[in-house]
Amino acid sequence: MSSIVEQSLEIAAPASVVFAYVDDYATTKDWMYGLHRIEPVTEQTHGVGATYDGVMKLGVSLTSRISCTGWEQDRLLELTSVSGVRNTQWWSFADLGDGRTRVDVRISYTLPGGPAGRAIAAAVKPAIAVAIRHTSAALARNVEGRGARQ
């Protein structure tokens, strides 16, 4: 069964700063709730074709290999799984003026079917709302704090 999670947030930083922070896989563990591990598997770490292995812990460990399938400087990041838990992430960045950015996130994921899939879904579902709140707050806090240091 497929599920979709959507979130929008405003961050007090220019779109170029927010985009660069989200686009840097090395910072992802600092703000993405439940991300246990992310490692590049290609020499390329930015843009279409960059590929990573990742493990999320949301009640259970969820493993995926994701590849960047869409990339527009300061505007869009799209990541799609190529193995493991099926998921696609769309991140769009809109300059609101006055040094503010709106980030819209849409994550689509499909857990395995059958009894194992139902057990995984039962463990993951309660963590999703917590993950969204913590991820949004940490992303805004980290980017805004980073801007203050520059």
Question: Could you give the CA distance from residue 115 to residue 13 in angstroms, rounded to a whole number?
Answer: 45
Q: What φ, ψ does residue 48 adopt, rounded to 5°?
A: -55, 130
State the residue range of the domain holding 78: 2-149
- List the CATH number of the domain containing 57: 3.30.530.20
What is the arithmetic mean of pLDDT over 9-19? 96
At residue 103 the predicted structure's pLDDT band, cuts being 50, 70 and 90, is very high
Residue 47 backbone class (left: φ over 0; alpha: ψ -120 to 50; beta: rest): left
Q: Are strands 2-11 and 100-110 parallel, antiparallel or unpaired?
A: antiparallel
pLDDT digits (tens, 9 = 90+) for 35-84: 999 999 999 999 999 999 999 988 788 899 999 999 999 999 999 999 99
Is pLDDT of 148 > 50? no
Is the distance from CB of 124 to CB of 112 less than 8 angstroms? no
pLDDT digits (tens, 9 = 90+) for 15-47: 999 999 999 999 999 999 999 999 999 999 999
**Count of domains in the chain?**
1
Rounded mean pLDDT of 106-132? 77
Q: Give the orientation angle of helix 15-23 with respect to helix 114-149, to 10 degrees.
A: 130
At 150, the pLDDT band (50, 70, 90 cuts) reads very low
**pLDDT for 117 beyond 60:** yes
Is residue 30 left, alpha or beta, with left meaning phi > 0 and alpha meaning psi from -120 to 50? alpha
